[in-house]
Amino acid sequence: MPDESAQWLFVETVIRRVMADFCYKEIRTPIFEQTSLFARSIGELTDIVTKEMYTFVDRGEESITLRPEGTATTVRAYIQNNLAEQAPLSKVYYLGPMFRQERPQAGRLRQFHQFGAEAIGSVSPTLDVETILLPLEVYRQLGLTETTLKVNSVGCEKCRPKYKQLLKEELRKIQTKLSPESQARIQQNPLRVLDSKDERDQILTASIPLMKDHLCDECKEHFTSVQALLNRLSMKFEVDGRLVRGLDYYTKTAFEITSPQLGSQDALAGGGRYDLLVEELGGKQTPGVGFAAGIERILIALEKLGKVKSQEAGPMVFFVGLDEASREWAFMKCCELRGRGISAELDYLNRSVKAQMRQADRLRAKFVVVIGEQELKSRSAILKNMANGEETPVPFDRLDSVL
Ligand code: AMP
C-alpha cells in the first residue's frame, strides 16, 4: 500500500547504500526459471523443492518455476553470462520477490521479498565473514541491533558423506521413537533431523554426533578462520552444531541471524558457502558464498521496536485555489515547478479553503500558497512556511527562486 511503500523504500535505500559500501553490484535476475535449475541446486529432497515451489507447465510444455530464492538464479546467470571471464571474483547483490507455497502466517508469506548477496570466485574465509557482516550492517543502520548470530560448518564432499553415514546409523538406533517427519528424513536427508522443531526429537538427539566435530582438516581450518575473524571484529556469535539450512548446496560455513522481535518465524537472514554449486550447475569449479534476508521480517521487527521510518518527504509547495481561475493557474504553475524538479501539489476536488489547508497539512507540504482573484491581479501571493507559520509576500516571478 502507498504508505507502506515509503517504509519499504527507506529500507531498500539503506540496503543499497550498504551494498555499495561493501562494493557489491546489483544483479537483476528473472522471476521465473526452468524448474530443473531449482531442483538441481536447492536439492530434490528439500522442503522447498518437494512442497513449496510454484511450478507450472507453460504453453511450450516447459516446466517453469517462480524463483523460491536468489542464489540458484544468480549462479545460473553468472555461468551463462561468463562473469568469471570478466573478473576472478564477482560480488553481486539482488533485491526482489521470491515465491514459496507455505502456510501463510505472521512473517511467512507465499510472495515475500529478499535481499541477498553472492561473492563468487574465492575460498577466502574473509568473504564468509563479509557476507555475515553485510546483513548485520543493514540491521545496525536500521536500528535492529538485538540480533543473534549462529554459525556452523556443514562440511564438504570429503567429510560430509562419512558423517552422514555415522549420523544415519545413530539415528536408526532411535528411529522408532522419533517423530514421523524425522523418521522419514533419516534415509534421504538425515541432517535435517538435527534441526527438527519437535521437542521429543530434540531430547532424543541431544547427544548425537555433530558435523562440526567430524570435519576434515580443510573444513576445520576454514571454520576456525571464520570464527577468528568474527572474534577480531568483536562480533558476538554462537556456534550451533545443529544449524543446517533448508538448502542442500551449502558446504563449510552456514549461518543464521535471528531477531527476538519476531515470533516463531524469527529468522532474519541465513546463508553460507557453496563451493560446489557453480560446477553442479554446469560451470567451472568455482567457490562461492552468500546470504539471503527477508525484508518483511525487517519491517515487522522495526514496527515492534517503534522504529518504522519513512523517508517520503511532503511536497515543497501546495497551492490553495479560491476559484476556478486560480485553480487553473495553480495547475499550470505546478506543471512548471515539477518540470524544474520542485515537488508541487494542488486541490483537484474543488474543496473549501479549510479542507485544502487540511490536505496540505496531511501531505506535510513545506509551503502553502493561497491564490485568489486578488493574487492573480497583483501577480503576487503570500508564501506560508508550514513549519514555523512565517508568511512572506512573494511576486509570482520570484516564486521558483524562493522554493
Ligand atoms: P532462506 O532462503 O530460506 O534461507 O531464507 C532467508 C530469509 O528469507 C529468512 O531468514 C527469512 O527472513 C526470509 N524468508 C524465507 N521464507 C520466507 C517466507 N515464506 N516469508 C517471509 N520471509 C521469508
Cβ–ligand 1 contact at 112 (below 6 Å): yes
Say if residue 273 is in the same domain as residue 373.
Answer: no
Identify the CATH number of the domain in which residue 355 sits: 3.40.50.800
In which element (H, E) is residue 138 found?
helix 125-142
Nearest CA to ligand 1 atom 8: 294
Say if residue 246 is in the same domain as residue 395.
Answer: no
In a domain, 201, yes or no: no
Which residue stretches of the chain have pLDDT < 50? none
**Whether 128 contacts 289, CB under 8 Å:** yes
In a domain, 230, yes or no: no
pTM: 0.92
* Cell numbers found for residue 139: 540491521
Say if residue 277 is in the same domain as residue 384.
Answer: no
Nearest CA to ligand 1 atom 4: 270
Say if residue 140 is in the same domain as residue 285.
Answer: yes
pLDDT of residue 264: 86
Cβ–ligand 1 contact at 256 (below 6 Å): no
Cβ–ligand 1 contact at 268 (below 6 Å): yes
In a domain, 351, yes or no: yes
Say if residue 276 is in the same domain as residue 357.
Answer: no
Say if residue 321 is in the same domain as residue 295.
Answer: no
Distances from the Cα of 186 to the Cα of 156, 190, 354, angstroms = 19, 4, 71
Coil, strand or helix: which one is 360? helix
- String of b and e for 366-380 (b: at least 16 CB within 10 Å)? bbbbbbeeebbeeeb
In a domain, 205, yes or no: no
Nearest CA to ligand 1 atom 16: 108
Say if residue 6 is in the same domain as residue 112.
Answer: yes
Tell which atom from ligand 1 comes closest to the C-alpha of 70: 2
In a domain, 173, yes or no: no
Strand order in the sheet with 238-239: 25-26, 90-99, 111-120, 288-294, 267-273, 251-258, 148-153, 238-239
Give the distance, in angstroms, between the CA of residue 333 and the centroid of all CA atoms in the same chain. Answer: 40
Tell which of 305, 332, 355 closes a domain. 305
For 373: left if phi > 0, alpha if psi spans -120 to 50, otherwise beta; the answer is: alpha
Amino acid present at 234? S
Nearest CA to ligand 1 atom 10: 269
pLDDT of residue 311: 62
Tell which of 305, 333, 357 closes a domain. 305
Distances from the Cα of 7 to the Cα of 1, 94, 312, angstroms = 10, 19, 8
For residues 385 and 383, what is the distance between their CA atoms, to the nearest angstrom? Answer: 7
Å from CA of 106 to ligand 1 middle: 12
**Who contacts 322 (Cβ-Cβ below 8 Å, separation ≥6)?**
353, 370, 371, 372, 373
Å from CA of 172 to ligand 1 middle: 31
pLDDT per residue as tens digits for the range 63-111: 999 999 999 999 999 999 999 999 999 999 999 999 999 999 999 999 9
For residues 172 and 350, what is the distance between their CA atoms, to the nearest angstrom? Answer: 77
* Cell numbers found for residue 121: 570466485
In a domain, 211, yes or no: no
Say if residue 14 is in the same domain as residue 121.
Answer: yes
Coil, strand or helix: which one is 28? coil
For every residue of 261-294, DSSP letters joined together read: TS-S--EEEEEEE-TTHHHHTTS-S--EEEEEEE
pLDDT of residue 195: 85
pLDDT of residue 95: 98
Best CA proximity match to 116, nearest among 305, 311, 247: 247
Say if residue 284 is in the same domain as residue 331.
Answer: no
Count of domains for the chain = 2
**Who contacts 156 (Cβ-Cβ below 8 Å, separation ≥6)?**
216, 218, 219, 251, 252, 275, 276
Tell which atom from ligand 1 comes closest to the C-alpha of 270: 4
In a domain, 217, yes or no: no
pLDDT per residue as tens digits for the range 289-342: 999 999 999 999 999 999 887 667 899 999 999 999 999 999 999 999 999 999
Best CA proximity match to 35, nearest among 68, 83, 74, 77: 68
Q: Residue 41 sits in which domain range? A: 2-155+237-305
Å from CA of 307 to ligand 1 middle: 21
For residues 241 and 202, what is the distance between their CA atoms, to the nearest angstrom? Answer: 13
pLDDT of residue 250: 93
